[in-house]
Amino acid sequence: MDILTPDTILRERYKIVKLIGQGGMGAVYKAEDLRLGGRMCAIKEVLPVGMAYEDEIEAYREQFFQEASILARLDHPNLPKVSDYFSDEGREYLVMDFVEGMDLREIINEARRKGEFLPEDQVLNWIGQLCDALSYLHSRTPPVLHRDIKPSNIKLTPSGHIKLVDFGLVKLLTTDDSRTVTVVQGRGTVQYTPLEQYGGDTGHTDVRSDLYALGATCYHLVTLQPPADARQRFLQPGSLPLPRTINPGISPALERAILAAMAMHPDDRPPSVEDFSEMLFATHDVVAPGGVYIAKDTPWLDAFWQHKPLFIAAMLLLFLALVISFALPAA
């Protein structure tokens, strides 16, 4: 694709400063708003890749404007404000606030270089802000899924606020979930993508899909290692190391919340971001998926998760011993 060069002016208003990022279906630029002196913005450029017919392109453009109009109505402190959207020479553009600061991937890499884990209270503060943003998105009409939550799409501003910056894979759900529209077709980033999302727009995704990505992001933050992807975990059960085996300093409650959010089947995850947040921050007993109550600090449960294969083997041996004892004739 052709990249816009610095000083290119779009819509007689936005002056391109530099390229921020590029993918197969578009690019993101930093630009200056010539009507509002000193205001910098981020402009996402979207291409109708793989569409050869005019009716396909027109339908795609209508979908883009439908989504963009909904995104422009979003207003939350942990989301960049979408201020404009338009078409220009066959390309669609989404204009939003430019967010200063480092993204969480850069912060993770810096912590790895120092050989220091990120403090748990700091990670919880960040994840709490993301929970607020996702709770807001999921409560819209129609609900809005992000579908590409990952450390590089999350920025930490100089003031300490978290911003979920990339709407590239936003997916809007109608109330009856009978159809979906998507600004950019895609499947997210492999380490943070739940198994049900690999079907693209044909796969059934809901708020629990975002929750998986949030849990995977939290896993990366506390371990400084990206998690094993869902396909690998499906083919090789046990390939996801428990967070506390990598970082023993994190609390059992945080580990349990991460593993619950990253459950392979959506039904085994917390049903909502609010439930996940409750698992993270509640000081009383919390409800895990399936209606099972789990105390926040339960040493026996921690031991089970740390030595799950041994527990299962021991239970099988006990069962086998009982079967043999009943099968043997009485003396």
Q: Looking at the annotation, which residues are catalytic? A: 148
Among the listed residues 184, 187, 205, 188, the one whose alpha carbon sits nearest the alpha carbon of residue 196? 205
Helix (H) or strand (E) holding 92: strand 91-97
Contact (Cβ atoms closer than 8 angstroms) between residue 145 and residue 171:
yes
The CA-atom distances, in angstroms, between 285 and each of 82, 108, 190, 296 are: 40, 31, 33, 6
CA terminus-to-terminus distance, the chain? 83
Count helices and strands in the chain by DSSP H and E runs:
10, 14
Distance CA 2, CA 174 (A): 34
- Helix residue ranges, H only, 115-206: 120-138
**Nearest to 199, CA basis, from 215, 214, 182:** 182
Question: What is d(CA 262, CA 269) in angstroms, rounded to the nearest whole number?
Answer: 7
138-163: b or e for each residue (b if 16 or more CB lie within 10 Å)?
A: beeeebbbbbbbbbbbbbbeeeeebb
Q: Are 197 and 203 in contact (CB under 8 A)?
A: yes
User: Which tokens sit at 45?
Assistant: 């450029």
